[in-house]
Amino acid sequence: MQTIGIKDLQLNPAILTNSLQNDEYTMITKHSKPIGMALSFNNAIISDGLKTALMVDAYKKGYISLGQLAKSLDIPHKKAMKILSLMKIDVIDYDFKDDVKFLDSF
């Protein structure tokens, strides 16, 4: 991974261009503190990242189930649940009020 100061980047933007063309991660710093990360768009990032984002969005909107999400991403259910959890998306849609109504019916 390469590190480029913001001043160096302003003086010579080709440094970043070359880094991206070589498929390298590049940390951009200001006063020696990281302020950003640059990475090239390669097929894996675009296809896998976009596919995951679209499938997670479909799950979030209720269009697909957890099983369908896992299958479409070719990952185990546990990993799909972890992805949803990291994105702060509920894995189980559960309403406690439904249970209370059921119990009250007895």
Q: pLDDT exceeding 70 applies to what percent of the chain?
A: 93
pTM of the full structure: 0.53
Considering the domain 2-38 in this protein, what is its CATH number?
Answer: 3.40.1620
pLDDT at 55: 92
For 22-39, write each residue's pLDDT tens digit.
Answer: 888 899 999 999 999 888
Residues (pLDDT < 50) of the chain are none
CB contact burial 59-72 (16+ within 10 A = b; e otherwise): beeeebeeeebbeb
- Per-domain residue ranges for the chain? 2-38, 43-86
Kindly report each contact of residues 73-81 with a partner whose C-beta sits within 8 Å and lies 24 or more positions away, as own/partner. none
pLDDT at 95: 67
Give the CA diameter of the chain: 76
